[in-house]
Amino acid sequence: MRTTRTVPVLALVTVGSLFLTPHSAVADRPAPTREPAAPDDRAARAPESAAQRALAADTPAKGEVRGYPREQVLSPDPENPADKSLKLGLTPYHAIAPKLNDLQRLGDRVSVEVAGRSAGGHRLYLVTVTAPESARRARAQERMRELIENAPAAAAKSREIKAGYKTPVFFNNNIHGNEWEGTDASLKLIERLATAEDPGTRDLLARSRLYFNITANPDGRIAGTRANANGFDLNRDFVTASQPEAHAMRQIMLDKQPAVMLDLHGYVNGTLIEPTTPPHGENYEYDLFLKNSYANALGMEAAVNGLGHTPQKDGVQPAQIPFRDQEEGWDDWPPIFTPQYAAYHGTVAAHTIEIPLRVNNTAYDTLPESELRRRSAINTDVAGAALSAALDFVQRRGTALIADQIEAFRRGATGATQVPVSPEAVPGVPGIGPEDVYTTTFPRAYVIPGGTTAASRLVDHLIANDVRVTRATRAFQLGGHTYPQGSYVVDLRQPKRGMANVLLADGRDISDKVSVMYDISGWSLGKLWGAEVTPVTSGNLGALPLRPVTAATPVGRVALRSDLRLRLTDPNEIAALNHLLRQGVPVRQAADGSALVPGSARAQAAQAARTYDVVFEGTRQTGGTELRRVRVAAAVTAGELFALREMNFDVTPVSTAVLNAGFDWSAADVLFVSAGLDHDGLTPAARTGLAAFLTGHGLVGRGAVGAALNSAAGLLPAKPVEGNGDANGVVRLVNSNGGPDHGFVYAPMWFTDLGPGVRVEESYATGNPLLSGHWRPDGNGAGGPADAAGEAAVVSGPQAVLFGTEPLFRDHPKGEFAQLGRALFTMAHPHNG
């Protein structure tokens, strides 16, 4: 849903560009007026002494090793005639390495490094374009970058930073593999920058470092898929960072600390240029973000419209800026998107750019190749115009951008209050209203008691996201509570407080703010990752016995004597159990659900404890039922498949087509269904085979598809009730089996009319079960959280377990994983009644 936001309309004034030929406004659209540009601050950046001028010019001393360029010869990839880029006339993945080798040979401005590898094993190329730097100069840049983050008050006064710091700019391309053209636009821009000798280019590269992630998703680029080889949408993975590509992009943002970034996508006609509609992320400094992002968007809009494409001539609509042109439906609320995630690392102008003409999916398969190539060429030009206009913006505003980045870090480090957006706080941005005001109250700190696998996982994840964490060397009191030695403390007076808070806070119920959200609306790691996390509103942290840590203290250990007990409440514990079962270790399950391991397997348990960082306690318990390896036939989402394999389950993907082709059920012990298996679509033979399997084995079902199969097979007498399909977020739960007290929903479901033998494992809390996110009733007034309150969220019986929550969503709610893992063990060999 995208409706028009009502704002004052102004007339567009196209400015000249160092990189673009000026054009007049497109005649067929009344163009909004561009606010007067901020004063050109290049003069303010001029070196103030001969020594500083020499530093800025950066002529390396004779014989000195350069910091840049950092050239390397890339080995070629095998030619792949099946690469989907070829049909569009674009650069196939196998041609990128040779192209980058050629670009490095053009001069001394282009450097290439391998930033990582994709899930499918392909190299991720990071290209840096900048004026040459000596090793001394490169060290000075790094020192200034660290000063900006770690000592922002000093950085704000630094004449060296003002005169000589190079503005970092990050261009991220092709994160969705079948949105190709950003890669080609970046390669063209790099080639131009590599050799251009005009004063504008020389000045830009002397005062900036430009970083290009050439293709963030080579797996998808080659295959023509949105997702990577693991089936993940990488532009939804930044909270969890489950994928190697997300790790690489995260590290680029941490290491380079860009002030400006563009994430190039497709396809929205006309070209969509963020900033966005409400709701806006409440944890970053949105006043600084909006001021710069809107100004940059105006320049990119002028550049794109200035290319002269029109609806009549080539089917291209004028560009749009959601903040100005739409009411809702394209928000920047969750930190799962690349630009929004970048904001937590000091990026004060960040944009998703959606280029206009569709060439993927059905269009790719049905349009003539000539039409696809025409569209791709236009898209490449549009992407190039946006890139070049962003460089003009950096050229004009570099010093101001760095000043705002410093200010964002200063607010975090000092605990300063946020500045709500308003026409006075953000002059030059039209249409700001109360619907745009989102701020939060930061706690003084968070305390995470240590000693558990979940706590260690969470702490390591915080550190990987550049959040500063300390650990107590002895017990301490804070906020009226006593915490044990080894507890972790996250002081919110740190430069990246927004990053810490957006991960750990409960979040907010924003159901009354807008009618629809673009994607998820709640994601709290404090509530969903299984660790105890306590916000503290006040206290003197300086007096506490705290030491900074660079990694969590491992907790894995094995009791020295007796038999062993492994609690199965964490995904790592499930993984360790499956590891032992693969080794042939005899394991039994106790009445309380834990796993009992004989003391004779202490050596294998010790190895598992180290590998999975889990605790094997001593126990005198005896008896229990035998546990065996579980082979899962899974018709599930990519995120669920990934999570199952993380827990070391042996998984075979199945679907309606696989079963119809003749599936060997002897290779499975349990069936897990959430997607892709339609009972009505099965052949008679496939139905017979499925029914025979389910007579001796169980079903774990999730969501509408799992519940439908359960009903068709007649396993568990329970009526599924679907909530609003647009709803999602963190919910409060009530458990009968000691499970998690919070979970995640995405199109929530609950169960009524429960028959004999059905057990309620988990129910939605009474009152309003939604803690944070967006959950309204649907159009007829039903399906809201009030209808779900108190109803069964997870039910079980002799032959099935059904989930109305999303326990493995996008590999994210770690605290729920073990609950589903235990269900798979239970249903692998159910006791038929």
Residues serving a catalytic function are 354
Phi, psi of 693 (to 5 degrees): -60, -45
Q: Among residues 735, 732, 630, which one has the least CA distance to residue 672?
A: 630
Residue 335 structure tokens: 């930190």
Q: Among residues 170, 171, 162, which one has the least CA distance to residue 144?
A: 162
Q: What is the DSSP letter of 263?
A: E
Q: What is the DSSP letter of 719?
A: E
Cβ(742)–Cβ(731) below 8 Å: yes
Cβ(731)–Cβ(509) below 8 Å: no
Cβ(427)–Cβ(311) below 8 Å: no
Helix (H) or strand (E) holding 483: strand 481-483
Q: How many residues appear in the chain?
A: 833
Angle at 204 between CA 199 and CA 206, to 5 degrees: 95
Cβ(656)–Cβ(678) below 8 Å: yes
Distance CA 788, CA 767 (A): 9
Distance CA 830, CA 695 (A): 9
For residues 400, 318, 381 and 124, what is the CA-based torsion angle, rounded to 10 degrees? 60
A 10 A CB-CB count for 329 gives 17
Distance CA 45, CA 52 (A): 11
**Partners of 626 in beta bridges:** 588
**Partners of 133 in beta bridges:** 68
End-to-end, the C-alpha distance of the chain in Å comes to 49
Convert 804-823 into a string of H (helix), E (strand) and C (coil): CCCCCHHHCCHHHHHHHHHH
On the question of a cis peptide bond just before residue 279, with omega within 30 degrees of 0, the verdict is yes
- Residue 742 one-letter amino acid: H
The helix/strand/coil state of 519 is coil
| CA distances, 748 to each of 350, 546, 788, 825 (Å) | 32, 42, 9, 24
Distance CA 773, CA 510 (A): 6
Q: Among residues 89, 119, 81, which one has the least CA distance to residue 227?
A: 119
- Residue 27: Cβ-neighbour burial (10 angstroms; 0-12, 13-18, 19+): exposed
| CA distances, 594 to each of 529, 569, 613, 616, 675 (Å) | 20, 8, 17, 11, 30
CA Rg value for the chain: 28
The alpha carbon of 635 is separated from its chain's Cα centroid by a whole number of angstroms, namely: 24
Phi, psi of 756 (to 5 degrees): -60, 140
Cβ(236)–Cβ(150) below 8 Å: no
Look at strands 719-722 and 749-752 and give their pairing: antiparallel
Q: Among residues 709, 700, 642, 722, which one has the least CA distance to residue 677?
A: 709
On the question of a cis peptide bond just before residue 67, with omega within 30 degrees of 0, the verdict is no
On the question of a cis peptide bond just before residue 267, with omega within 30 degrees of 0, the verdict is yes
The helix/strand/coil state of 276 is coil
Cβ(310)–Cβ(26) below 8 Å: yes
Share in percent of the chain as helix, strand, coil (round to 5): 35, 20, 45
Q: What is the DSSP letter of 517?
A: -
Cβ(240)–Cβ(811) below 8 Å: yes
